[in-house]
Chains A and B, each alone.
Chain A
Amino acid sequence: MAKKILVVDDEPDMVTFLCALLEDNGYATCTAVDGEEGMERTKSEKPDLISLDLLMPNKTGIKMYRELKKDPETKDIPVIMVTGFAKDDVPQMDFKKWIHERAIKPPEAYIEKPVNKEVYLESIKQALM
């Protein structure tokens, strides 16, 4: 049975692309446009992995990640963070640092935009093993 991956991104194009990529590689997909919807979908769809965009309206990826990790129901779902920010560009948006400072379990992988397809798929493969 194909593994189900939840793609959370506010950009419809990004969602289309990632879903096409994942489906082409044998994964089942479901989508959400912001953190709030992402949490709902996580609860309802119970995905095997979440591909999470960092910056979104309503509820950012960071907020959603924190909630995921707080909730015992969802805290074990692997997360791949997809972000348009390199840490050098905007230091205050350094998610890695933010995670380390708060002693929260880090996500399984960080993927920077533009998404390198091979790296993205390999990271997901690793995270699901």
Chain B
Amino acid sequence: MNGLQRQRGEDPNPTGSFPVPTPPMWTILSNPIKKFTSSLSFKLSFYAGFIMFLAVVAFAYHTILTQEKSLLDEKIRASIKDTEIIKAAVWNGMMSKDRQVIREIVAAVGKEGGFREINIYDHRGALHYTSRSGQSEDIGSVATSSTNPLLANLDSNASLRYRFIDGGNILNVVNPLNNSAGCATAECHADPSLEKVLGALEVNLPLQDLRKKISDSRRNTLFFAIALFLVVSSILGLLVIFGVLPPIKRLQRNARNMAKGHYAPAVANYGSDEIADLARAFDDMSREVNSRTTKLDQSRRFYKDLFHAVPCYLNIVDPDYRIVQANRAFTDEFGDYTGSYCYQVFKGQDTPCLNCQVKKTFADGLSHRGEQVWTSEGGTRKAHVVVHTSPILDEDGKVSQVLEMSVDITRLKNLQAQLEKKEQEFKTLFENVPCYLSVVDKSYRIAFFNKRFVQDFGDCWGRHCYKAYKGRETKCSNCPVEATFADGSTHSSEELWHLNGSDRHIILQTAPILDERGEVVAVMEMFNDITELRLLQDELSTLGETIAGMSHDVKNILSGLEGGVYVVDSGLRQGREERVRQGWEMVKRNVEKVSDLVKDILYASKEREPEYQECDPGEILSEVFDLYQGKARDYGIELARDFEPRMGSGLLDPKGIHSAVSNLIANAISACRSSGKPNPRHIILHGSRIDTRLVIRVSDDGAGMSQEVRDNLFRKFYSTKGAKGTGLGLVVTRKIVEEHEGTITVESTQGEGATFIIDIPLMRPEKKTA
């Protein structure tokens, strides 16, 4: 300690900012010394030895003091006894009144008895006898209480007394000489009998030997104590070194190992003392610690692995919004931002976010959820995340940190956006698809429809489909929607709907709309008005038939021509005039047929401007009547007229009207011929003027027509005559009538005949030309 203090004293700058000089030798030694003095063996041996030393010294001191006292007491007792003997001897001498004898006794005893000095004083203190040689001159000198205090007050206290003088080396005993009867009566006696004490005997005994003995004894005891101290210390030291230190060192080593984290000590034989128990207890503790540490370690590693391996972003944020720790998923994706402010990292902001889940959790200690968009530095990575915060509590239960758990839903968001886009696309498609689309639920109510649907059906939301489409009160039979609900597959049907006052051909297809379990929850109906298409289709199919019919017609005409030519040739060859005429008629008829056919085709296919001129319809009707009367008769048909030859002129296309009426008559002849009824059959050509209208009626009692035939009557290429009809006749007729802004209608009963009615306005010439 001293050394240290001195060392500090010498160091002018203990802070060490200056170079420290090489320390002196003692400082080099001080450390080992310090180490030694603070070692257990030193402490134990030194202090135990020192205590032993002190004990021995104390014991020896006590013994020596007792011995000294007892020796002195013995000496005093001996000296008292000696003074009594001397007193007796002197008393005898006095009785003999021979002073010389007394002197000799005193001298002899003083010489031989080992006394230093023997003196006899009278009661006044005057010295009368002494053993000191050569001291006769002192006789008669008076000793006072100042020179020897023991001589004082002898009268009042006639008891023996002693003291140590000359530094304790001499025992000075004074024994008073009491007045006795013998003395008091002795005439020699100078003192009256009243005196109690006549004098005193003083004896000095030397004590050097005794003192030397005691001193020797003391020294020996001290040596013994020191030797004992050394021996005890050494033995204790060795015992400590060999008996105590090794297990302690082992303990130390184990403790150090434990401190380093090696918790599993080797099994060792420690013996059976308390240190061994301690060592074992320590080892047990170490093993226990090891086991718990291992478990703790495993648990820690488990949670660490979990922290890093969990497939979402984990951040631990402190109250300053700094990222304390982030898991691997986060650092891999965004980089290591430990120590940065979360709002800087996630949002590139300088202040915490307004709606911050971390802040809320710090405030109320509860978990919070939210959705956020993170933007990495430079905005290269944009992440949509769902953030979930949980508090991390300290020992006091306060929120010290917040665990921020974020799930990246960017892909989901993108998918959602794509889905929405797709949905929009589908919706647009659905809305704008050029056919009717509707969705019908299980109760056949319309739940959804597109634009096109609304245009023609109106807003039918919630109405029953059968009511909305067909005006029915109950579900239709053979309903494709029902079939789709039943089997989950698509169905189609072609239906005739009455829409906006006309019959429409509707082709309808159904498709199931499935839920997640694959059950049909609704049915989509997609339908289109194919009336025009159907008509076109019919026309095409009749066109095919008609072309075949026409080619047959042409072939027939060609055959007729060829036949006519052959018959003419044959007649000429054989000189048979009648046959030549027959052949020539054939040729003429067939040329006429070709002409009619070509005219029909031209009428039907071309936009022909009617050639209006003022004429009397009666004349036209007469012409037609004359033309067909003979022909009808050939087939056993009576053609009757029911019109005035003069009906009053009007503006008409006479050729057109002629064709139209001719067609009707030709049709009537066919109908009569194909009726299978017995002849004669009848055809009536009727014409009349009603106000400004011209009405022409052609009636026959032929085959009549079915409803289907009536419906298709005025369509191009429709023919019931098979090979005999072009299918163009009535089309041409209607076309002509419509050019005259008139109408043509038919009344017919199957098997009973038919009546065609042409009704055209007869315009005044000036009006028409205007």
Binding site for B on A (CB under 8 A): 11-14, 16-18, 20-21, 24, 55, 57-58, 84-85, 89-90, 93, 113-115, 117
Contacts and interface: CB of A to CB of B under 8 A. Distances in A.
A89 B554 CA distance: 13
B289 to A, nearest CB: 104
Contacts of A21: 566, 570
Nearest to B582: A16
Given A11-B556, A84-B552, A114-B555, A17 B722 contact: no
B723 interface: yes
B560 A13 contact: yes
Interface string B727-762: 000000000000000000000000000000000000
Nearest 5 pairs between A and B by C-beta? Answer: A17-B563, A84-B552, A114-B559, A13-B560, A89-B548
Nearest to B703: A57
Contacts of B563: 13-14, 16-18, 20, 115
A79 B556 CA distance: 21
A57 B673 contact: yes
Contact of B559 (A55, A89, A113): A113
B567 A20 contact: yes
A58 B676 CA distance: 5
A29 B654 CA distance: 45
A14 B579 CA distance: 14
B586 interface: yes
B722 A58 contact: no
B560 A14 contact: yes
B545 interface: yes
B406 interface: no
A68 to B, nearest CB: 20
Interface of B: 545, 548, 551-552, 555-556, 558-560, 562-564, 566-567, 570, 579, 582-583, 586, 589-590, 634, 673-674, 676, 722-724
Contacts of A84: 552, 555-556, 559, 723
A11 B583 CA distance: 14
Given A13-B586, A20-B579, A114-B558, A90 B564 contact: no
B550 to A, nearest CB: 10
Contacts of A24: 570
B570 A20 contact: yes
A113 B556 contact: yes
28 contacts: A11-B556, A11-B559, A13-B586, A14-B559, A14-B563, A16-B563, A17-B562, A17-B564, A17-B586, A20-B579, A20-B583, A55-B722, A55-B724, A57-B676, A58-B674, A84-B552, A84-B556, A85-B552, A85-B723, A89-B551, A89-B552, A93-B548, A113-B552, A113-B555, A114-B555, A115-B562, A115-B563, A117-B566
A85 to B, nearest CB: 7
Contacts of B552: 84-85, 89, 113
Contacts of A89: 548, 551-552
A45 B488 CA distance: 69
A82 to B, nearest CB: 9
B567 A11 contact: no
A85 B549 CA distance: 9
Q: Which among B545, B563, B582, B673 has the highest number of chain A CB atoms within 10 Å?
A: B563
A90 B541 CA distance: 11
B564 A85 contact: no
Given A14-B559, A20-B563, A113-B556, 14 more contacts: A11-B559, A14-B556, A16-B567, A17-B559, A20-B566, A20-B570, A21-B570, A24-B570, A55-B724, A84-B556, A89-B548, A89-B551, A89-B552, A114-B562
A30 to B, nearest CB: 17
Contacts of B555: 84, 113-114
Contacts of B556: 11, 14, 84, 113
Contacts of A113: 552, 555-556, 558-559
Contacts of A58: 674, 676
Contact of B564 (A13, A18, A115, A117): A13
A55 B562 contact: no
A90 B548 contact: yes
